[in-house]
Amino acid sequence: MAADGDITVKKVRELLGINKSKADALLMKLQMSCRVVTGDIQRVYRGPYLEYKGWQTATFCTPEALFDTSGIEEMLHLEHNISHSLETGHSPKESYRLLCGHIRTIVPDITDRELSHLLG
């Protein structure tokens, strides 16, 4: 990544020597696994008068570079609890109930319908 922690799709393509669709697919996989997030969206100014014609480009960075790292400790603790519950052999129904309970501690006013839609 760049010195300031972010990189564009164009730079990814240049560094890896791949085409746009492969770079987009790579960044999508990294985003879906929460390894990369959208850091900034910048306007593109082109032409002799540097006009803005609605084009924008996104930069990508790691979550740690974008967000305050104090929440990382809590996330790691949650990850440990999830892996611990896998070791204890909870049934899928019990795991779903535990997950619903945890989400309700974070968002107490969530409805059952919203919760079911969120978790599928």
- Distance (Å) of CA 29 to CA 20, 50, 88, 96, 111: 14, 34, 30, 26, 31
Query: Would you say the pTM of this structure is higher than 0.85?
Result: no
Q: Is the pLDDT of residue 60 over 60?
A: yes
The domain segmentation of the chain, as residue ranges, is 6-66, 70-119
Average pLDDT estimate for 65-81: 63
Task: Provide mean pLDDT across the span 41-54.
Answer: 85
- Provide the pLDDT for residue 1: 43
